[in-house]
Amino acid sequence: MGSRMTRQQVRAQALQAFQASLDEMVPVDETKPLKGRRFGDWEDQLEGLIRKVSPVLLEGRQALEDNAQVDDGGRCPHCLSGNTYLEKQATRQKRHGPHGASEVVAQQARCRDCGGSFSPSTP
């Protein structure tokens, strides 16, 4: 099946998240005061921007992968059997990186031969 989103969708979501964070840091409205007085304050604001935008980009990037959504379970990584099936419901998994947590969607598969469980759609 392939990716769950288009590049245009991922870019639009990332730009929207960036724009919202930028508007907090440097408001377009000249009457709104800028926050912070010291360089360290600005660095903290930038780190906040990164923490808000990076999950959107990482989750979107994962949704663009060819294996983001598959039609069958493929081969079992435990016993290499092709006798697998996809379970009905995908799961959401948290991934923690240097800029906070991201959530990835992973389909689950099970092997009929060895009973092993695995995700064919998680990079």
pLDDT tens for 33-65 read 999 999 999 999 999 999 999 999 999 998 898
Look at residue 40 and tell me if it is in a domain.
yes
Look at residue 14 and tell me if it is in a domain.
yes
Write down the pLDDT at residue 112: 96
Helices 39-63 and 7-25: crossing angle in degrees, nearest 10, is: 170
Look at residue 41 and tell me if it is in a domain.
yes
Handedness of CA 63, 66, 68, 69 (dihedral sign): positive
- Checking if the pLDDT of 3 tops 60, the result is yes
Q: What's this model's pTM, rounded to 2 decimal places?
A: 0.71
Look at residue 24 and tell me if it is in a domain.
yes
Look at residue 123 and tell me if it is in a domain.
no
Residues 49 and 18: beta-carbon distance below 8 Å: yes
Domain that includes residue 100, residue range: 7-118
Write down the pLDDT at residue 114: 95
State the average pLDDT over residues 67-94.
86
State the average pLDDT over residues 103-111.
87
Look at residue 1 and tell me if it is in a domain.
no
Look at residue 82 and tell me if it is in a domain.
yes
Look at residue 78 and tell me if it is in a domain.
yes
- Cα separation, 67 vs 85, in Å, equals 15
- Checking if the pLDDT of 2 tops 70, the result is no
> Considering its fold, how many domains does the chain have in total?
1
Handedness of CA 65, 102, 41, 26 (dihedral sign): positive
State the average pLDDT over residues 11-36.
96
